[in-house]
Structure 1
Amino acid sequence: MSTMRTDSSRIAVLSKMAEILDVLTEDSSITLQALSQQLNLPRPTIYRIVQTLIDLGILTPSNQPGRRLIHWASSSRNTHALENASQESLQRLVSKFRDTASIYTRVGSARVCIARVEGVESLRHTIQVGTPLPLHVGSAGRILLAWLDDETRDRLIHESVTFFPGQSPPSFSGWQEIREKQWAISLGERESALGSISVPIFTGTNQVLAALSISGPKERFVTDRQDAIISALQQEAHKITQLLCSAKNEHALSATPQPPQSIVNKED
């Protein structure tokens, strides 16, 4: 009997956690008092559950997705269209420069690699697709941050530093320059031996959807090679945007209801 009670209590706690996460997904700025009133749960109970979620890395102190939640979600995020549209571009970049080519998206205050083709050099940059990485270091992180407003960017950098305490934020203020040039470079930031160059992948409405990157030993990102890498990255990013827009238009067209055949014949 006691075992049944214990199991029932655990299920009840999980149910409350789910309800709290549902609300915070819609409004991360809601106060504990408002959350307590909305869910009809005692404020101390809300506090204990939220604090537990923070301690477990499921939430951040500002109620954003935590590292553990990001890791769970990254494998099932709806990025199939972007993955499919980018595969040929990634292959072309690796064939041309022999270094690793990747696509990164922002999830909360982390960046996650959603597609990748490994370089063919003996020394190359290797990570697992779906692994959360710091948003505040590396060229891909800068691309994902540069087009945000200052307040949002500062908050995400602060949270990223909290998630990844071993990664000190570099002194950087050239966000306007990145927006103007539409590329970013980092040398030895996340790992001392690594370098990378990244460019934005835009949506059809000029919002930054992802970062397209080439990474490898930082010695391979010398000045006389940078221009060729940047040009190739920007060309491939443009191709990916075109493919995404084309796929979106085709999907919209196929979803448009067609008139009955009898009506079409009469109009003819």
Structure 2
Amino acid sequence: MHIVTSGGEDSSPRSTRPLSTVLKALALLDHLAGLDEPVRVSSLAREVGAPRAEVHRHLVTLESGGWMERLPDGAYRLTLRPAHLGHTALRQAGVGERTSPLLAEAARAAGEVVSIAVLDSDTARVVQRAEPGRALHATLLLGDRLPLHSSATGRLLYALADEESAAVPARRGVPLPSEDDIALIRATGWATSTDDAEDGVAALAVPLCREDGRTVAALSVHGPRDRITSAGALAVLRPLTHRIEPLLRLDGAAFGLRA
């Protein structure tokens, strides 16, 4: 393939302007990832604050590319293609290769599921997990999205997020931890789940940080409430953070974070 540029123009990536249409389509995908149900064009246009015709063109384009599916009633929903891309990104970043043995070891030590989750717009998303190798009543799947106000990982990630990241869910009006909860999480450096689900599931999460101290992920243990104790979970998670952080080389890129 031949690329032709003008003689006086700097063709380096830094001087190349991004395509605004592609940026809008990607922003639309980010928004769609936060929805639990299929959405109609008019509703989506209102939510993102864009003209209906423009949103419809993006959806039709994404449908043609295999990223969206149009249902018989006219609503749109994501296909499984984004999930495949996400798994590929994790493999290329080396997240699974670097952390799987350590997570598996910790899961066996705790006797429960151990996972890594990241802040993904207005939710926490599980990007890596390991099981203890025995039957469990509590399940936590790769790709699961956890609420910011009640899950241990969501509460921790929101409480320790930078101002720009924390502003996104606040603008969208999703339920968030209280100011008292945020202060307590920042003071202790860990968070627990607060929901009283009938299945009795509980979790405790601690941060994974870069060298500059910025939190980029949450490491958690997840299991039946009657088996999860703060002392027991911290005894497993705290040493694990010191082993995982150097291996991941937490530069943020592996987790899709901007510098």
Taking structure 1 as the reference length, what is the TM-score of the superposition?
Answer: 0.59
Judged with a 3 Å threshold, the aligned counterparts in structure 2 of structure 1 residues 20 and 215 are, in CA distance, closer, same or farther, namely: same
Judged with a 3 Å threshold, the aligned counterparts in structure 2 of structure 1 residues 158 and 71 are, in CA distance, closer, same or farther, namely: farther
> Whole-Å Cα distance in 1 between the matches of residues 85 and 157 of structure 2?
18
Counterpart in the other structure of 1:114: 127
**1:76 aligns to 2:88 (yes or no):** yes
| SS of alignment partner, residue 88 of structure 2 | coil
4+ long deviations beyond 4 Å: 24-28, 47-53, 67-73, 149-152, 168-172, 189-192
| SS of alignment partner, residue 124 of structure 1 | coil
Question: How far has the Cα of 1:229 moved from its partner?
Answer: 1.6
Aligned residues: 197
Deviation track 1:152-187 (CA, whole Å, cap 9, x = no partner) reads 4354156484xxxxxx76656321321222111114
Counterpart in the other structure of 1:94: 107
Counterpart in the other structure of 1:180: 187
Instruction: Point out the structure with max Rg over C-alpha.
Output: 1
Counterpart in the other structure of 1:216: 223
More helix by share: 1
Pick the aligned partner of 1:45 from 53, 62, 78. Answer: 53
> Whole-Å Cα distance in 1 between the matches of residues 101 and 52 of structure 2?
53
Question: How far has the Cα of 1:139 moved from its partner?
Answer: 0.3
Counterpart in the other structure of 1:36: none
Taking structure 2 as the reference length, what is the TM-score of the superposition?
Answer: 0.60
Counterpart in the other structure of 2:74: none
Unpaired runs of 5+ in structure 1? 1-17, 29-41, 59-66, 162-167, 249-268
> Whole-Å Cα distance in 2 between the matches of residues 90 and 43 of structure 1?
46
Question: How far has the Cα of 1:124 moved from its partner?
Answer: 3.3
| SS of alignment partner, residue 127 of structure 2 | strand
Aligned-residue CA RMSD (Å)? 3.8
Question: How far has the Cα of 1:68 moved from its partner?
Answer: 4.2
Counterpart in the other structure of 2:141: 128
- Sequence identity (%): 21
Counterpart in the other structure of 2:4: none
Alignment of 1:144-155 (within 5 A): 144-149=157-162, 152-153=165-166, 155=168
CA contact (8 A) 2:191 2:206 kept: yes
Counterpart in the other structure of 1:229: 233
> Whole-Å Cα distance in 2 between the matches of residues 216 and 126 of structure 1?
8
Judged with a 3 Å threshold, the aligned counterparts in structure 2 of structure 1 residues 171 and 121 are, in CA distance, closer, same or farther, namely: farther
> Whole-Å Cα distance in 2 between the matches of residues 191 and 211 of structure 1?
24
Residue type of the partner of 1:46? Answer: E
| SS of alignment partner, residue 207 of structure 2 | strand
